[in-house]
Amino acid sequence: MLRRPRDLSVHASFAARGAPVTAARAPGSTRTLTLLLAGLAMFGPFSIDTIFPAFPAIGADLGADATAMQQTISVYLVAYALMSIVHGPLSDAIGRRRVILGGLVVFVLASVGCALSTDLVTLLVFRALQGLSAGVGLIVGRAVIRDVLHGDDAQRLMSQVSMIFGIAPAIAPIIGGWLLGWGRWPLIFWFLVAFSLVLLVVCWFRLPETHPREARSSLRPSRLLGDYAAIALNPRFQRVAAAGAFNFSALFLYIASTPVFVLEVLRLDERQFAWFFVPMIGGMMLGAWCSGRAAGRISGTRLANIGFACSGLAMAANLLYNLAIDQPSVPWAVLPMALNSFGIALVFPILTLRVLDMYPRQRGSASSLQAFTGLVLNALAAGVLSPLVSHHPMRLAMASAGFMLVGWMFWRWECARGGPTPSPVPHPARLEPTDQM
């Protein structure tokens, strides 16, 4: 196992043939791999955020009201969550590269279906198909990072990927707004087709196989269910996964409420979504950069504590602002989200690496189950809670603060009971968590 990100490179000839390229034999730089993993993580947010400016136009064309249009997010997230528990163990069994390439192919076809939809039911079906495939980049990509690096180096690489990935939610609604200005709403889905096709071609030639055959697990249902049960019933996994899920949901509630929050509450137009997304993603990118710089200098526990403190301060400021005014306006209504996203970006790599280090041989499964936990909560936030609070700024702020508080409580519980995660061996012979306290 290599110690420095610069010690890893991707041989295109190996990747094109599907031969495994492991950290043990890969010289060079991780720059290509970093950009690839960031791009793979981006096509999920693109498929959510680019259509936000088109909600009124899609609703008018398909005869759907605002509540029905909200289900285009919920259906996508439910499908994403359900399939997320498959992506990881599938990559543990047949390799990371095959799963990622297959997911990209399905996503291309689903995006074509969305572009050609003429009624809401058809659109929802293909949105669900998008959700079934979009998780491969983010979920399997996390396992790829931990396949090739560990410790501070893994935190640095994950932070670099997060920093580049953070561009997607910021520019996606801006791109959607401009595309809507140039043509009708199907143009947005054709953009997703083009983006995912580019990713597919690049991954075919440049993505390595980081999970060698000798380290792969069985696809037997009994074995997969046994692995999932062992992970899901581990109290430490439950604490760490819940801390990350609730913490991010505090921000995602606002993201899911963006069409109402930006267009109705802030009274901006379809080309002004940048007022919300740019400060939020700016904070996330800055936090990811700081996390990478802090690796090896500040302990993971302390860095996560700082991140939760930043999010807590952001929630308090947001509540006070909404108490003090009657009509929210930019920039003050969005600045707390920038601080909150900064805190989340500090916390995310720490919690994710803790989960992956608990199960070194089943990293894909652990990543899947962690993602599933967060996605189920996000789907509930988008489909159930957001329609109830998005029209009322104070209710939205209170619900967001509640999510963050619960996440922090799970983190404090983990700090009190879990302790530090020991450095795992690369590939133990069987499923064996490092700690089940």
Mean pLDDT of 121-143: 87
Token digits for 354? Answer: 């803790």
Highest mean pLDDT among 10-14, 28-32, 175-179, 412-416: 412-416
pLDDT of amino acid 421: 45
Mean pLDDT of 353-358: 84
Count of alpha carbons within 13 Å of 381, Cβ hemisphere only? 27
Q: Which residues contact 437 (CB under 8 A, 6 or more apart)?
A: 235, 236, 417, 418, 419
pLDDT of amino acid 396: 94
For 102, 197, 216, 418, the CA distances from 432, given in Å and listed in that order, are 30, 39, 15, 16
pLDDT band at 437; cut points 50, 70, 90: very low
pLDDT band at 147; cut points 50, 70, 90: confident
Say whether 33 sits in a helix, a strand or coil: helix
Nearest Cα neighbor of 394 from 261, 263, 206, 197 is 261
Mean pLDDT of 186-212: 88
For residues 18 and 90, which has the higher predicted lDDT (pLDDT)? 90
Token digits for 321? Answer: 């602002």
- CATH hierarchy code of domain 5-417: 1.20.1250.20
Query: Percent of the chain beyond pLDDT 90?
Result: 27
Cis status, amide bond into 349, omega within 30 of 0: no
Reply yes or no on whether the pLDDT at 430 is more than 70: no
pLDDT of amino acid 191: 92
- Residue 343 in contact with residue 314, Cβ under 8 Å? yes
Q: Bridge-partner residues for 80, per DSSP? A: none
- Residue 40 in contact with residue 165, Cβ under 8 Å? no
pLDDT of amino acid 172: 80
Q: What is the DSSP string of 342-409?
A: HHHHHHHHHHHHHHHHH-STTHHHHHHHHHHHHHHHHHHIIIIIHHHHTT-HHHHHHHHHHHHHHHHH
pLDDT band at 114; cut points 50, 70, 90: very high
14-28, 151-165, 350-364, 393-407: least confidently modelled range: 14-28
- Residue 367 in contact with residue 140, Cβ under 8 Å? yes
Reply yes or no on whether the pLDDT at 270 is more than 50: yes
Tens of pLDDT, residue by residue over 282-335, are: 898 898 889 888 888 888 889 999 999 999 999 999 999 999 988 888 889 999
Tens of pLDDT, residue by residue over 337-350, are: 999 999 999 998 88
**CA distance linking residue 348 with residue 68, whole number of Å:** 32
Tens of pLDDT, residue by residue over 64-89, are: 777 778 788 878 878 887 888 888 78
Reply yes or no on whether the pLDDT at 404 is more than 80: yes
**CA distance linking residue 276 with residue 204, whole number of Å:** 35
Reply yes or no on whether the pLDDT at 418 is more than 70: no
Quote the mean pLDDT of the chain: 80
For 1, 261, 432, the CA distances from 149, given in Å and listed in that order, are 7, 40, 20
With 0-12 CB in 10 A as exposed, 13-18 as middle and 19+ as buried, what is 354? buried
CA 416 to chain centre: 27
Tens of pLDDT, residue by residue over 163-185, are: 666 677 667 877 888 888 888 89
pLDDT band at 20; cut points 50, 70, 90: very low
User: What values do phi and psi take at 9, rounded to 5?
Assistant: -140, 170
pLDDT of amino acid 170: 67
Token digits for 42? Answer: 């981006």
Token digits for 400? Answer: 């967001």
CB atoms within 10 A of CB 390: 24
With 0-12 CB in 10 A as exposed, 13-18 as middle and 19+ as buried, what is 402? middle
Token digits for 291? Answer: 């996390």
**CA distance linking residue 170 with residue 308, whole number of Å:** 22
Tens of pLDDT, residue by residue over 211-237, are: 777 777 767 777 777 777 888 888 999
List the domain boundaries for the chain: 5-417
pLDDT of amino acid 16: 34
Reply yes or no on whether the pLDDT at 11 is more than 80: no
Mean pLDDT of 145-157: 73
Token digits for 269? Answer: 């137009």
pLDDT of amino acid 280: 86
pLDDT band at 27; cut points 50, 70, 90: very low
